[in-house]
Structure 1
Amino acid sequence: MEGTTSQSTFTFIPSTIETPSPSIPEISSSSPSPGGSLARVAQSYPPGFPRKVFAEVIGTFLLVFVGSGSAGLSKIDESMVSKLGASLAGGLIVTVMIYSIGHISGAHMNPAVSLAFTAVRHLPWPQLPFYVAAQLTGAISASYTLRELLRPSDEIGGTSPAGSHIQALIMEMVSTYTMVFISMAVATDSNATGQLSGVAVGSSVCIASIVAGPISGGSMNPARTLGPAIATSYYKGLWVYFVGPITGAVLAAWSYNVIRDTEHPGFPISLSSISSKVRQSIGGTEQKSDQRCLV
């Protein structure tokens, strides 16, 4: 693992040379050290890692419950929730969850976001499968909950292409690119972070979903689409919502790294700093956070 240094051990050899006991095998210098393996595991999975995974389950559950639930209610009866209201609800739940669990897990709540941040080394690769599993668990659980609550209707806010699959694919790529590009800026670049950065990410979700909604449903999240698809056994165009968001997210992370200001580098920071700064400005108290969890 990075940061591991090898140490040479010097042993004083006395004048009396003893024959080594044949019962004690020599340890090859190339043999892996158990301590080194444990250190690598501890570095990949710190003690607080289970809390991060559980936070992603909760965050994704609430994201899908509110986002899909409002979209489902809008399709059932637009007089209850308008299409614009459903888009606003999806953006607002992202905003409040960033302030709620951003300091714990980074508030990804999206496999495409987690993969993008892993690709640019802001999330360790060994943690990615656990993040994705937690997000899928939260999304599927929320979808089955909505299915029970919205009966007898089968509409629980799933997303499927309204036109051709290619149109939906391009729209999902562009909308996810927009959302992740903004997330990369406010979550990894201290020069772009302010007290309202969480609002910036939530607003990007609102804007992208308003534009993408009539064409692709504005998912921008494989878990957001897969959960309702499994709960309703409706898989039309499912591949679009994997290929599109993942491609758009990775391209956004890569392109922001290209234009990042390297002349005035700042420490990578998490969206936890946003809620911390808000608490400081409201309460007048100064708090410090050592978290490096990124969106």
Structure 2
Amino acid sequence: MTMIKRLAAEFFGTFWLVLGGCGSAVLAAQFGGDGNPLGIGLVGVSLAFGLTVLTMAYAVGHISGGHFNPAVSFGLWAAGRFAAKDLAPYIAAQVLGAIAAGAALYLIATGKAGAEVGGFASNGFAERSPGGYSLQAALTTEVLMTFFFLLIILGATSKAAPAGFAPIAIGLGLTLIHLISIPVTNTSVNPARSTGVALFADAGALTQLWLFWLAPIVGAVIAGFVSRWLQAPQR
């Protein structure tokens, strides 16, 4: 597959992840309010993120590998399953897809009288954490959640795993990660996802964005090396 097609697949996959996942949080999580509670809540948002990855992994995963996340690309590189020379173009396509989705979501969300952007599903710690969790808690959460996300990805896509089921395991894994960590950081585990909405959120989101690049990439790289060791053949 040509590089341009691979990058297009990463762009569209990441776009769908941000539009579907963050869109569910911004538009549907608390829809109707207390008087008419039709919103999907934390469970619905968690499922939405999982479904975006599951659907696009089946749709375009065979074209690009279905990363949709700079941390995933780094983790696959650390595991010896992705070329270092392809990291920069993949990450650029992912970030551009996320920003385009953030812009589209902003246009939708502000198309209502009296709309306020607010946090716009951005990630944060301390005063920007949904549950008021500290920097230390946020850092630990993002490293651990991304570590296990990559273990799931690398295991489910290994040659020894049953063919055709990887997107299901990965999508359900991402759903579980959100169920655990939305209260702590609003769940990143994906620097592109964090960037795509932080650019349109209220003041302060960009000042904390560094954590949601650093922690997911660290967790992913550690997982890549651990997975390489776990799956190495016995001698």
- TM-score range relative to shorter protein: 0.7 to 0.9
Match of residue 154, structure 1, among 117, 120, 125? 117
Q: CA deviation at 1:118?
A: 1.8
Q: Which residue matches 1:123?
A: 82
Q: Is 1:56 matched up with 2:15?
A: no
Q: Is 1:72 matched up with 2:26?
A: yes
User: Aligned-residue CA RMSD in angstroms?
Assistant: 1.7
Q: Distance in 2 between matches of 1:261 and 1:226?
A: 35
Q: Is 1:132 matched up with 2:91?
A: yes
Q: CA deviation at 1:261?
A: 4.7
1:226/1:238 contact within 8 Å kept: yes
Match of residue 176, structure 1, among 141, 146, 158? 146
Q: How does 1:76-87 map to 2 (within 5 A)?
A: 77=33, 79-87=38-46
When the two structures are superposed, what TM-score results if normalisation uses the length of structure 2? 0.87
Match of residue 247, structure 1, among 198, 214, 218? 218
2:30/2:39 contact within 8 Å kept: no
Q: Distance in 1 between matches of 2:160 and 2:77?
A: 21
Deviations 1:25-82 (CA, angstroms, capped at 9, x unpaired):
xxxxxxxxxxxxxxxxxxxxxx611100011111100000001111112256563221
Q: Which residue matches 2:189?
A: 220
1:70/1:157 contact within 8 Å kept: no
Matched positions, count: 217
Q: Distance in 2 between matches of 1:145 and 1:225?
A: 15
Q: Distance in 1 between matches of 2:25 and 2:149?
A: 19
Q: CA deviation at 1:208?
A: 0.8
Match of residue 164, structure 1, among 125, 129, 134? 134
* Structure 2 unaligned residues grouped into runs of 5+: none
Q: Distance in 1 between matches of 2:218 and 2:26?
A: 27
With a CA cutoff of 8 Å and minimum separation of 6, indicate the structure with the bigger relative contact order: 2
Q: Which residue matches 1:30?
A: none
* Structure 1 unaligned residues grouped into runs of 5+: 1-46, 265-295
Q: Which residue matches 2:228?
A: 257
